[in-house]
Structure 1
Amino acid sequence: MLAAAVDGLLDAGLTELSDGEVVEVMRGVEQSLRRTEAVSHRLVVETVERSVPASLGYTSPKKLLIEALRISGADASARVTAARELGVWHTLAGDPMPPVLPETAAAQSDGDIGADHVRAIAKVMRKIPHAVDNDAVADAEAVLATLARSATPEDVEQAGHRLLAYLNPDGSLGDDRDRKRRRGISIGRQDTELMSRISGELDPVARAMLDPILAKWARPGMNNPDDPDSPAGDGENPAIDRDVLAAAAARDTRTAAQRNHDAFSAVFRTLLESGVLGPHRGLPTTVIVTMTLEQLEKATGGLATTATGGLLPIEDALALAEKAHPVLALFDHAGRPLHLGRRRRLASADQRLALIAADGGCTRPGCSAPASLCAVHHVTDWHKGGRTDIEGLALVCDACHAQVNDGPAGWATRSAPAHSTHAGRTEWIPPPRIDPTRRPRINHRNHPGELIEHARASRSAPVTHSPPTGAGDPAVPGWAGRAADPRRAADSGGGG
C-alpha cells in the first residue's frame, strides 16, 4: 500500500496545484516520512528480538542493515541508536517496555518531529549528569519533545543548553561516571584532500599525561616538518643545541594547533620506531605503504595506500619510507600475485605482504575492514586440502572469517575461475537465506578503480547495467577488455 501511494505521488501532476497547496503537500509528505521512521524503529526492534542478524550470520544489527539495505555504516549506526532510544522493546516474558525517550517517540509517531529533532534531544539528554534525579530527567525530555513539535532542531539544541545550565547551575553534579561516559576520540574518514578530522573528549587522567608531552614536543621550533633545521623529538633532550633550537623557534610561524599536530606526528613516528608495540598479525607494527613500480620510478603523482586503508600522496609516502625496507611484489595482468607457496598452515610474512598489496583489505563483499584488521584465510579450508599458496589465500577480517562455515547460515569462498571477469579474485557465496541463487560476489571496496571503470563504461553503453557483483558476469560491458591492473607493487614499511 505504501509503495502504491508513492507511485501515485510520483505520477500525479503538480502544475494544477496552487502555491499554498504545494506547501501543504510538502508538509503532508514530510509528516508521513517522519512517521515511517517510527516504523523503521519497530522493524529494527523486531529483528533484534528475533535474533535475525545472528541467524543470518551477522555479528550485529548494524551489519545486517548495511548488507540488506545498502546503506552507509553511519546511517546504520544512527538507525540502531534511534531504535534503542525510541523503540518499544520487550522483556523476556514479552511485556512491552516504554521507550527510553517516551515523549520524543510519541512526537515522532505523530509525524511532528524528524530525525534531526531526535538527534538534538538525545544529544542534550546524554549530557545530563547522573546525579540529576529521574523525575527531573523525565521532565527535561518532555519539555524538549514538546518544544520540538513546533521548533527547529537548532532551536531544540539551543534550548537544551539552557536546560542543562538550569539542571546543573554550578557544574558540580558531574562525577566519574559522567566522565567515563563522555570520554572518547573519534577519527573521521579522509576527505577529498586526504585530511582526517579528529574530535572527542579526554578524561582528566589522559589530559594530565598529554599536557607535559605537548609542552616538550610542541614547543616553538621543535618537530617542524617545514624547517629542515628544526630539532626533532623531545625539546628537553640535552643533546639538542640550545642555539639551534632558539633559531628554529624564531623562524617558527606555526599556530599552536599546528605545533600540536606536528608533535603528535613526531610522537607516532618515535613510538613506531621504538619497537615497543611488538608484532601485529605476524608483521612488525609499522606503516606498510603500497605503491606501483611506475609510481616509485616517477616519484610523483597519484596515491599510495596503507595497510590500514589510508591514502598517501606519493611524495609523502616516499618521504615516510626513506628508512624503510622495500619489498618488490610482482602481479599478473589480473592483479593477482604470482605463485608464492608454503607447506605450513600459517601464511608467511612475505605472503601477508603480497596479500596486503593485492587485496587491500577484507575480501568479503560490503566489508570495509582494512588489511591491518584482517587475518589470512584459506579460500579452500586447510582441513579440506587447501594449500598455503598465495593464489589460494585471501585477507578476511575476524568477524567475516567467522561467517565461513558449513552451517545453514555459513558463507563459502572460492577463487574466481580463469575465464571469468575477475579471475583469481576471492568469490564469496552467500547462504540460501540471503540469496537463494547463491550467486558469487566479489568485494570492490578496496579496488575503487574497478567501479570507476564500470561507471565510465556504463555511461557510454546503450543499456544501463548494474555493477558486477561476481565473476559470473562475463558480458558486463567495458570489463572484459579492461587494462592490466597496475598493482605491481613495492611494499614499504615506513617509520621503522
Structure 2
Amino acid sequence: MVLELSQAEDAIAACADTAIWALSEGELIAALDTAHRIEQRLASVKLALIRELEGRGTATTHGASSTAVWLRERLRLTIPAARRLVDLAAVLDTGNPGVRDALAHGHITMEQARVIADTVDTVRTAAGPEAADKSLGVLVEWAGQFDPTLLRKLSTRILDHVAPDIADAAAAAALDAEARRATRDRHLTVSTLADSRLRLTGVLDSETAGLLRAAIDPLCAPSGPDDQRTPGQRRHDALSDVCRLALRTGELPEHGGDPAQVVVTTSYDGLIRHLGSGALDTGLHLTAEAVRRLACDAAILPAVLSGAGQPLDLGRQRRLISGPLRRALVLRDRGCAFPGCDRPPRWCEAHHIEHWADGGDTSLTNAVLLCGHHHRHLHHSDWTVRLTGDGHPEFVPPAWLDPEQLPRRNHYHRRT
C-alpha cells in the first residue's frame, strides 16, 4: 500500500503543476468531479489506516492520551476533526462493509457515509438485515442527489421505502436512535485566539440546550432603550453573568487542588497605582481596568517572589506543590508540559522531576505540570524530563521512538 500511495502522490503532484487555465470549461468540470471522487476514495484508505492504528494502540504507545490527540499532533488537525475521523473509522469498521465500499468507490462523501451508516444501523435493528441492505442501496442513490443535511432528514423515513409495514413503529425507534446520537456527538471546544480571547464552538444535546437557554435567556434582554449591544453581545454578557453566579455559589468542585476561582497575577504596585495589567493562570492577559474590576470582588493573595520573578524555594519542608508555588508553575508551563498535549492547568498535577522519595526538593526548578494521563505515562515509560537553560521543561523520547532522542517541547501553550 505504501508504494501505491507514493505513486498516487506523484501523480497528484503532476496534476498540481498542470496549466489549469488551458482547460476548457467541460474539462475543468470533469477534472473537478474526478478530484472529488479521488478525495473520497483516499478518505476510505485514511479511515482504514486510522482504524488499524487505533486497534494496535499506537497512540498510547507513543505517549498520547487517545488516537484523536495523536492524530492532531501527527497530522496537524483540530481535536474535533480528529475525533470525527476516529469515530467514523470505528463506525465503518463495525458491520457496515457496504457503506465502506461505497466510500471506497467514490460514490459518497465522508459526511454522507456517517449519515448512511447511522441509518443502516437503525434499520438493521428495527427491520433486520434484508431491509438494511435495501436501505443502503436507496441511501447511496439519494447521496448522488442530496447533501448530508438533507440526506439525514430524508433518512428518517427510509422505512417507508424499504419496510412500509413497520415504518410507523420504527419511527419511534429512529427518534430514540437520534437522541443517542445527540448524546454521543455532544461536545464543546474552547480555542485560545492569538489576542487572548476564546472561541467557543460545539454541539449541545437537547437537555443541555434547554438548560443553557433557561440560564441565559432572562439575562439576554436589553438593559434599556439605550442598550446598543447586539444580540450576540448580549448572549456573551449573559454567559459571563452565569459563570460569575456559579463561582459565587462555592459549590463547584476543586480543580488542581484549589477551589474553583479566577487567578490573576499582577504586581502590587501596579494594582495600587491603577497601571498594572495582569495574566490569568490560563495564560490569557487582562487590561489594567479588568484587573481592578476583578480585584473589587476578590481575595488578594500575596506571594514573595525573587528578583527574577521566581517563588522562593520551599526546600524539603513540604512535599505537595500548592499555593503560590503551584501558581508560579502554572504561569511557567501554562498547562500540561508534555509535547503535543493541550490540557489546561486546572486538569494538571505537579510532578517532581527528581522524585521526593529520591531526595528531590519541592521547588520550581524540580517541578513540571502534567495532566493525569501524562503524569502516569512519565512514571511508567522511558521518557525523561529536564529543565533547560531558560528554565522551561523539555522531554527526551525513548530510543525506540526516536533513535536520535531529540528533546521535544510543548508548543500548544506558548504565548505569542
Matches within 5 A, 1:217-232: 219=218
Alignment of 1:376 with 2:350, yes or no, is yes
Q: Is the 8 A contact 1:365 1:444 kept in 2?
A: yes
2:414 alignment partner AA? H
Q: Deviations over 1:169-198 (max 9, x none)?
A: 696446777645533753333576645345
Structure 2 partner of 1:411: 383
Structure 2 partner of 1:145: 140
Q: State the identity as a percent.
A: 27
Structure-2 separation of matches of 1:390 and 1:278: 26
Structure-2 separation of matches of 1:101 and 1:130: 11
CA 1:297–1:43 in structure 2 vs 1: closer, same or farther (change >3 Å)? farther
Structure-2 separation of matches of 1:301 and 1:107: 61
Secondary structure of the structure 1 residue equivalent to 2:187: strand
Secondary structure of the structure 1 residue equivalent to 2:346: helix
**TM-score scaled to structure 2, two decimals?**
0.77
1:340 alignment partner AA? D
Structure-2 separation of matches of 1:297 and 1:446: 30
Alignment of 1:65 with 2:34, yes or no, is no
Q: Is the 8 A contact 2:326 2:350 kept in 1?
A: yes
Matches within 5 A, 1:105-120: 105-120=100-115
Structure 2 partner of 1:163: 155
Structure-1 separation of matches of 2:267 and 2:26: 60
Alignment of 1:429 with 2:396, yes or no, is yes
Report how far residue 281 of structure 1 moved: 2.4
Q: Is the 8 A contact 1:31 1:111 kept in 2?
A: yes
Q: Deviations over 1:144-163 (max 9, x none)?
A: 22222x235x2x43143133
Structure 2 partner of 1:32: 38
Aligned counterpart in structure 2 of residue 6 of structure 1, from 12, 22, 34:
12
Q: Deviations over 1:221-254 (max 9, x none)?
A: xx68986xxxxxxxxxxxxxxxxxxxx8x99899
List runs of 5+ in structure 2 lacking aligned partners.
1-6, 160-166
Structure-2 separation of matches of 1:402 and 1:251: 55
Q: Deviations over 1:52-110 (max 9, x none)?
A: 233333332223222333332222212212211224xxxxxxxxxxx543332112111
CA 1:176–1:82 in structure 2 vs 1: closer, same or farther (change >3 Å)? closer
Report how far residue 412 of structure 1 moved: 0.9
Structure-2 separation of matches of 1:402 and 1:79: 27
Aligned counterpart in structure 1 of residue 247 of structure 2, from 259, 272, 295:
272
Secondary structure of the structure 1 residue equivalent to 2:107: coil
Aligned counterpart in structure 2 of residue 84 of structure 1, from 85, 90, 112:
90
Structure 1 partner of 2:298: 324
**How many residue pairs get matched?**
395
Matches within 5 A, 1:115-194: 115-121=110-116, 132-135=126-129, 136-148=131-143, 150-152=144-146, 154=147, 156-165=148-157, 167=159, 172-173=172-173, 179=179, 181-183=181-183, 186-190=187-191, 194=198
Q: Is the 8 A contact 2:336 2:344 kept in 1?
A: yes
Structure 2 partner of 1:467: none
Q: Deviations over 1:393-443 (max 9, x none)?
A: 121111111221464xx3210000x3xxxx110011112233221111121
Report how far residue 133 of structure 1 moved: 2.9
Structure-1 separation of matches of 2:248 and 2:284: 20
CA 1:30–1:174 in structure 2 vs 1: closer, same or farther (change >3 Å)? closer
Q: Tell me the C-alpha RMSD between the 2 structures.
A: 4.1
Aligned counterpart in structure 2 of residue 400 of structure 1, from 360, 363, 374:
374
Q: Is the 8 A contact 2:262 2:280 kept in 1?
A: no
The structure whose residues are more often helix, as a share, is 2
**TM-score scaled to structure 1, two decimals?**
0.66
Structure 2 partner of 1:288: 263
Structure-2 separation of matches of 1:8 and 1:259: 52
Alignment of 1:446 with 2:413, yes or no, is yes
Report how far residue 286 of structure 1 moved: 1.7
Q: Is the 8 A contact 2:126 2:173 kept in 1?
A: yes
Structure-1 separation of matches of 2:288 and 2:120: 46
Higher relative contact order (CA 8 A, sep 6+): 1
Structure-2 separation of matches of 1:146 and 1:224: 45
